[in-house]
Chain A
């Protein structure tokens, strides 16, 4: 069974440009999460989808970030325009059931974003 896959694995862009990160969750997992780790900080929650619906986007830093999950399968996270402080590792994760149930959540390898 394929795990959570993320693309691209690494991206270097200039300040002001746009980057779109993609996440393919494990097949059949309704719950999809985006997390981010910026330099020197802990991994922080960005948002949570259940199928195609956004359940919680309270962690999104500002309106330069837009996440979508059309059709309830893969998800994209777009940063437009990118700023220097957006540099970090963006993790996608999926789970068949809610995290609050104590169930396992599976993380992708992350997309490393460097804004210069």
Chain B
């Protein structure tokens, strides 16, 4: 079983729609990161959440860390074609290296 379960695996929506993707685990983490990976590129860090219940906003992207620090969500408002990509959550499990979820592949149609 994977440490981080991301859902949905795939999402195809129209420009202007809202969406939420999830990253869930049964483990507690001190922090969690969200990355976006575009085709032909490496993952790029979007945000790090640290405190249970924390909400961070990055333009139209809203990230929330669960109260128990076991899960996180990413909400995108009025999605744009430029939001297309693979969204990955990742945690440090204490080995000083990241453990990634399998990702949510988002396609925003113009």
Contact = CB atoms under 8 A, between A and B. Distances in A.
B63 interface: no
Interface string A59-98: 1000000000000000000000000000000010100001
A106 B98 CA distance: 12
- Interface size on B, as a range, is 20 to 34
Nearest to B103: A42
Contact of A109 (B31, B40, B97): B40
B61 interface: no
Contacts of A109: 40-42
Contact of A98 (B4, B96, B100): B96
A55 interface: yes
Contact of B42 (A48, A102, A107): A107
Interface string B76-106: 0000000000001000101111111111000
A33 B43 CA distance: 13
B25 interface: no
A55 B96 contact: yes
A108 B42 contact: yes
A107 B43 CA distance: 6
A113 interface: no
Main secondary structure of the interface of B (DSSP, over half): loop
Contacts of B45: 104-106
Contacts of B30: 102
Interface residues of A, number: 26
A45 B16 CA distance: 36
Residue with the greatest number of chain A CB neighbours at <10 A, chosen from B2, B31, B95, B101: B95
Given A107-B42, A107-B44, A109-B40, A102 B50 contact: yes
B62 interface: no
A48 B44 contact: no
Contacts of A100: 92, 94, 96
A5 to B, nearest CB: 11
Nearest to B38: A109
7 contacts: A4-B42, A42-B2, A59-B97, A99-B96, A99-B97, A105-B45, A106-B45
